[in-house]
A and B are shown apart, each in its own frame.
Chain A
Amino acid sequence: METTNKIRVLIAKPGLDGHDKGAKIVALALRDAGMEVIYSGLHQTLNQIIQTATQEAVDVIGLSIMSGAHLPICKRLITMMKEQGLDDIRLIVGGVIPYQDIPELKEMGVAAVFPGGISFEDIITGMNKLFE
């Protein structure tokens, strides 16, 4: 019986944007870092993301957002997470995120932001840090 606590993370692309290369390669990198990654595919509604995170009992929801809509999306999702009692799940965001938006994202409750161009190593370290 294996008793290791592997980080379980849901990688999701919310909304209509279909640029999924980033989400896919990050999923691969997290797998290679020993995490269990649930990949839910493109064009997910926030409700689908919430239900998936609930059923899978993940530790982390990782959103990849390239359309520029990261602020409204995160805001909505965090409200929904609270409503559903998913308060022990951390939300992280990656994609095209301008640095000037990071404080606002953190303010609303995003646990970590990994803008495009950041290294896998930094993402993995950053994620592990959430569970220290």
Chain B
Amino acid sequence: MGVAKYTKDEKGAIKEVIYQSGIKVKPVYGPEDLEKAGFTYEQDLGAPGDYPFTRSLHPQSYRSRAWTTRQYTGFGTPEETNKRFKLMIANGQNGLNVAFDLPTQMGYDSDHPLAEGEVGRVGMAIDSLKDFETAFAEIPLDRIGSGLTINGVATIMMAMYQATAEKFGYSKDQISTTPQNDILKEMIGRGAWIFPVEHGVRLVGDSIEYAVKELPKSNPVSICGYHIRESGATPAQEIAYAFEIAKAYIDTVTARGIKPEDFVGRFSFNFNVYGNLWEQIAKFRAARKLWAKMLKTEYGVTDKKKLFLRGLFGGGGSGLTKEQPENNIMRSAYYALGAALSGAQTTALCSFDEAYTIPTPRSALLSLRTLEILMDEVGLRDTVDPLAGSYFIETLTLEMEEKIIEEMEEVQKWGGMTKSISEGFIQRKVSRQAYEYEKGLQSGEYRKVGIVPTSESGNRPEQETQKTDVELHEYNQEWAEKSKVNLIELRRTRNDKDVSDSLKALEKAARGTDNVMPYLVTCCHAYATVGEMAGVFRDVFGEWNEPEFY
């Protein structure tokens, strides 16, 4: 039953509940539980907006402002993306979130053999500054911020963004961009990595350092516990691994003589709301508290605002089922409720048909409406942190904090996040868990509505899904053709010497210790392609070899 472990007696009464993070839940909680855990209001909660921010980052939370929502856009060609951007801005959106196609994410140009069949498929295809100029034409880059969903070549896209703004007459201190730029999580989860671990981390370091010095309004990294959870991590591990990743980035930047106080305020997080409702709420409350405590005690950060765990808490895709996709609409609504009860600043939901393909406009709109119903209709904005003081929630929050710390300590025992990933400790643990969980789902030990355990034979999910009817995105071969034509044109018209000079300078920087960012900006201005810039990195750094996962 559920995504936790339930033991029942013969009459069906619940005997024992164990959450995925490993916490046992009692049938009833009372004041004695808080007492036993040594709970105090000042230490463990504090007023909303006060350290350690368990309740909320802001004193008034949703009273003063509802959460912001994000929608991913980025379609096939830069032209189409631009149209969509303009439409969104006209509809009142003040932030854009750009998705890139796989070749761009992996640092290949659209005419690379590996790009075949993938150009523009899951996002916008970018080959050179020309494409960025098209995508962001007539967008007020001093007012609109952009999230760039890119990791392996995040440095290149940041440089593109700056170069584009400069082309359009903005200065680099006016623009605001948030690349995802979390390469370590790619190595645990999403798989869009290119270079070996230490070089990947160095690039993250370069971009943070550059942002600190040159891009005052940009947030150089968004750490994604979200994808770690999707890969099979428990909620406690999701937070623990994200924090250990953050520490790896902090350490690499501090090693360059920059104080944590000067940059940690620019970190943001992307977490997953999927699983048991209470466990999720406790997770986020514990995470806000722990992050603030960690920055304060371990890194000596004093400015209150820099202790904030900022970020997006979004509905998890792996919670959704392919079977009976309509159920996902309801499921996502409850994830959103969890996010609201956790005080999420920003949220987003997966579309109900995402288990099939990238969301269709109809399903994307449904997600948006779900969020509106919560905020504008049923009363989630009424009061700050409505669950505070619940015997259960407060006990669970404390237990969750302990679990997270335990998981972090294990990573430290392995030698820190960089090493744990490069040797595969995390991947092995997470994929084993994913396997066990999947087996549990199939045997009926865990339960997701719509999935029929194999033990109950005769009614296989296959039979139900066969009937389901979902809209599917079509892939458009023309996108690839167009990109290829543009590339030919670009190579014909650009100044070859500028390109090769700038690439040579980039190579020298990559081999040495210079920050690569300014060199990348020069390359972008010279219309070097993504594939050429990433190619320089590939030559200098090599490619990562993933460790065994079993």
Contact surface of A with B, Cβ cutoff 8 Å: 13, 15-21, 24-25, 27-29, 31, 39, 41-43, 45, 67-69, 72-73, 96, 98-99, 115-122
Q: Report chain A residues within 8 Å CB of B103.
A: 16
Query: Is A45 a contact of B113 with CB atoms below 8 Å?
Result: yes
Say yes or no: B431 contacts A120, CB within 8 Å: no
Chain B CB within 10 A, most for which of A15, A72, A119 = A119
* Complex contacts, B475 vs chain A, CB 8 Å: 68-69
List 7 tightest A-B contacts by C-beta distance, closest first.
Answer: A18-B191, A117-B322, A16-B102, A25-B435, A69-B117, A28-B435, A72-B117
Please report the C-alpha to C-alpha distance between residue A42 and residue B114 in the assembled complex, in whole angstroms. Answer: 13
CA of A83 to CA of B363, assembled, Å: 43
B538 to nearest A CB, angstroms?
12
Instruction: Write out the residue numbers on chain B whose beta carbons fall within 8 Å of the beta carbon of A20.
Output: 191
Binary CB contact string for chain B from 113 to 144 against chain A (1 if under 8 A, 0 otherwise)? 11111100110000000000000000000000
Contact between chains at A120 and B191 (CB < 8 Å): no
Binary CB contact string for chain B from 281 to 324 against chain A (1 if under 8 A, 0 otherwise): 00000000000000000000000000000000000000001110
Neighbouring B residues of A39 by C-beta, 8 Å: 549-550
B434, A25: Cβ atoms closer than 8 Å: yes
Residues 54-69 of B at the A interface (beta carbon under 8 Å): none
The answer on a CB contact under 8 Å between A98 and B435 is no
- Partner of B114 from the list A15, A41, A117 (CB cut-off 8 Å) is A15
Q: Is the CB of A42 within 8 A of B431?
A: no
Main secondary structure of the interface of A (DSSP, over half): loop
Stretch of B91-99, B159-167, B384-392, B458-466 with 4 or more beta carbons under 8 angstroms from chain A: B458-466
A29 CA to B441 CA, complexed, in Å: 14
A121 and B454 alpha carbons, distance in the complex (Å)? 8
Q: How far is the CA of A115 from the CA of B355 in the complex (A)?
A: 11
Please state if A17 and B102 are interface contacts (CB–CB under 8 Å): yes
Interface string of B438-468 (1 = CB under 8 A from A): 1100100000000100100000111001101
Bound CA span A96–B356, Å: 6
* Bound Cα distance A117, B327 (Å): 15
When chains A and B are docked, how far (Å) is the Cα of A120 from the Cα of B231?
18
A25 / chain B contacts, CB cutoff of 8 Å: 431, 434-435, 438
Q: Given B113, B193, B321, B461, which contacts A18 in the complex, CB threshold below 8 Å?
A: B193
> Complex Cα distance A19/B431, Å?
12
Whether, in the assembled complex, B491 has its beta carbon less than 8 Å from a beta carbon of chain A, the answer is no
Is the Cβ of A96 less than 8 Å from the Cβ of B355?
yes
B79 interface residue (CB < 8 Å to A):
no
Which of chain A's residues has its CB closest to B103's CB? A16
User: Is A43's CB under 8 angstroms from B431's CB?
Assistant: no
Determine if B472 is an interface residue (Cβ-Cβ < 8 Å). Answer: yes
Known contacts A116-B322, A118-B462, A15 near B102 by CB under 8 Å:
yes
Q: Which residues of B178-194 have CB atoms within 8 Å of chain A's CB atoms?
A: 186, 189-193
Q: Which residues of B contact A28 (CB under 8 A)?
A: 431-432, 435, 550
Complex Cα spacing A9 to B524, Å? 44
Q: How many Å from the CB of B257 to the closest CB on chain A?
A: 34
B43 within 8 A of A: no
User: B494 at interface (Cβ–Cβ under 8 A)?
Assistant: no
Q: CB of B357 within 8 A of chain A?
A: yes
Is B105 located at the chain interface by the 8 A CB criterion? yes
Residue of B nearest to A28 (CB): B435
- What's the Cα separation between A121 and B103 when bound, in Å? 35
- CB of B251 within 8 Å of the partner chain: no
Evaluate contact between A120 and B439: CB separation under 8 angstroms: yes
Apart from A16-B114, A42-B546, A98-B470: 8 A-B pairs, beta carbons within 8 A: A16-B102, A16-B192, A17-B191, A24-B550, A28-B431, A67-B102, A68-B475, A118-B462
Which of the residues A16, A98, A99 comes within 8 Å of B105, measured between beta carbons? Answer: A16
B230 within 8 A of A: yes
- With A15-B102, A118-B462 already in contact, the answer to whether A73 and B190 are too (CB < 8 A) is no
Q: Give the Cβ gap from B319 to chain A, nearest Cβ, in Å.
A: 13
- Provide the residues of chain A in CB contact with B461, threshold 8 Å: 117-119
Pair A19/B121 contact, Cβ less than 8 Å: no
Please determine whether A29 and B435 come into contact, CB atoms closer than 8 angstroms.
yes
* B531 CB–A CB distance under 8 Å: no
A18 B186 Cβ-Cβ under 8 A: yes
Q: A118 CA to B461 CA in the complex, in Å? A: 7
Nearest chain A CB to B466's CB is how many angstroms away? Answer: 5
Expressed in whole angstroms, the minimum distance between the Cβ of A127 and any Cβ of chain B is 16
Contacts A96-B355, A119-B454, A121-B442 hold; do A67 and B466 have CB atoms under 8 A apart? no
Q: Please indicate the chain B residues that have their CB under 8 angstroms from the CB of A73 in the complex.
A: 117
CB distance from B182 to the nearest CB of A (A): 13
State A24–B106 Cα separation when bound (angstroms). 21
| Residues in B whose Cβ lies below 8 Å from that of A72 | 116-117
> Chain B's nearest CB lies how many Å from the CB of A45?
6
- A120 and B434 form a contact (CB under 8 A): no
Assess the B472–A19 pair: CB atoms within 8 A.
no
B232 within 8 A of partner (CB): yes
- In the docked arrangement, what's the CA distance between A56 and B431, Å? 25
Establish whether residues B102 and A24, one from each chain, have CB atoms under 8 Å apart when the complex forms.
no
Q: Does B482 contact A (CB under 8 A)?
A: no
Q: Are A24 and B431 in contact (CB under 8 A)?
A: yes
Q: How far is the CA of A77 from the CA of B118 in the complex (A)?
A: 16
Query: Does B473 belong to the interface (CB within 8 Å)?
Result: yes
State A116–B461 Cα separation when bound (angstroms): 11
| Cα separation A105 to B141 with both chains bound (whole Å) | 46
- List, in ascending order, chain A residues with CB within 8 A of B546's CB: 41-42
Bound-state CA distance A98–B473 (Å) is 11
A117→B186 contact, CB < 8 A: no
B459 CB, min distance to chain A CBs, angstroms? 12
Q: A21 to B434, Cβ gap below 8 A?
A: yes
Contact at B451–A69, with CB atoms within 8 Å?
no
Question: B323: which A residues are within 8 A, CB to CB?
Answer: 117
Cross-chain pairs A/B with CB under 8 angstroms, 14 sampled: A17-B191, A18-B191, A19-B190, A19-B191, A21-B231, A24-B550, A41-B546, A45-B114, A68-B121, A68-B475, A69-B117, A69-B121, A96-B355, A98-B470
